[in-house]
């Protein structure tokens, strides 16, 4: 009888355990480059500090879903202190996240949010830190971002430098720079799960860098948060820099 019952008990135990978190990093070694040196090489790799600091806005359009062949449209618009991510089109949008200065709002009919409402504090902090078209490694001191070197370690089949970025609100992200190209290949941060009321680790993998106006941008982003059962691929079809920004786009629709 015991032999017949143990598989059921094992199945129940495994189900109760839930999904596993992100795998831990390999052991790191001391870095041979300082934070300032790594930032300088990162900026040079992407196109140079002057070009990066000249970025005032960026608009990205593409497709989003569980695979690279997904066809759900996505648009992201970023200006200083402003951020908009819309998945779907216009009235058919099934997810909107927006930052308009100090205000944040969202729409998500699938989650029961049919009218624009303020994001949860945990979500709002994450998206406010994304409201920077230049990125947190460009002129970090002025923005109040603290950059520290964690070390150098193997990732996949090559070496990376791991940087710890602490934002002014004390939220933390980890940037992994390819040790040869000095372009970001991975970022690990946190994702707020409203259904569980908690934050979980999420990684973004960056691939397919292309030149846009003299600056390199990744045209493929892969998001993975095992604890939240999140696995998504964003394929950018077009990235536009310093195009005119309609400030009204960041404001919530009239409810």
For 10-51, write each residue's pLDDT tens digit: 333 333 445 678 999 999 999 999 999 999 999 999 999 999
The boundaries of the domain holding residue 151 are 26-243
> For the chain, how many structural domains are there in total?
1
Specify if 192 maps to a domain.
yes
Specify if 18 maps to a domain.
no
pLDDT digits (tens, 9 = 90+) for 123-173: 999 999 999 999 999 999 999 999 999 999 999 999 999 999 999 999 999
Distance CA 171, CA 186 (A): 17
Specify if 6 maps to a domain.
no
Specify if 249 maps to a domain.
no
Q: Would you say residue 85 has pLDDT above 70?
A: yes
CATH number at residue 97: 2.50.20.10
Specify if 19 maps to a domain.
no
pTM listed for this prediction: 0.89
Residue with tokens 């879903």: 65
Specify if 147 maps to a domain.
yes
Mean pLDDT of the chain: 90
- Residue 61, both tokens: 């359009």
What pLDDT is stored for residue 206 in this prediction?
98
Contacts of 92 (CB under 8 A, 6+ apart): none
What pLDDT is stored for residue 91 in this prediction?
58
Specify if 1 maps to a domain.
no
Specify if 68 maps to a domain.
yes
What pLDDT is stored for residue 1 in this prediction?
39
């Amino acid at each position: 009888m015991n032999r017949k019952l143990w598989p059921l008990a094992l199945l129940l135990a495994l189900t109760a355990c839930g999904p596993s978190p992100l795998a831990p990093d390999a052991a790191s070694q001391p870095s041979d480059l300082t934070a300032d040196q790594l930032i300088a090489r990162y900026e040079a790799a992407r196109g140079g500090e002057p070009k990066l600091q000249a970025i005032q806005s960026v608009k990205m359009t593409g497709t989003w879903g569980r695979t690279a062949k997904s066809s759900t449209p996505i648009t992201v618009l970023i200006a200083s202190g402003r951020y908009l991510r819309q998945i779907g089109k216009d009235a058919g949008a099934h997810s909107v996240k927006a930052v308009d200065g100090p205000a944040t709002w969202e729409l998500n009919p699938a989650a029961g949010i049919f009218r624009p409402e303020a994001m949860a504090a945990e979500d709002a902090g994450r998206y406010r830190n994304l409201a920077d078209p230049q990125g947190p490694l460009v002129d970090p001191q002025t923005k109040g971002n603290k950059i520290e070197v964690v070390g150098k370690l193997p990732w996949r089949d090559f070496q990376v430098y791991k940087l710890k970025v602490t934002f002014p609100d004390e939220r933390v992200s980890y940037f992994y720079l390819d040790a040869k190209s000095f372009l970001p290949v991975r970022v690990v941060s946190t994702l707020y799960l409203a259904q569980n009321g908690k934050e979980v680790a999420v990684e973004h993998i960056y691939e397919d860098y292309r030149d846009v106006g003299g600056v390199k941008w990744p045209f493929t982003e892969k998001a993975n948060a095992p604890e939240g059962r999140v696995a998504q691929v964003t394929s950018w079809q077009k990235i536009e820099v310093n195009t005119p920004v309609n400030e009204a786009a960041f404001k919530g629709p009239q409810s």
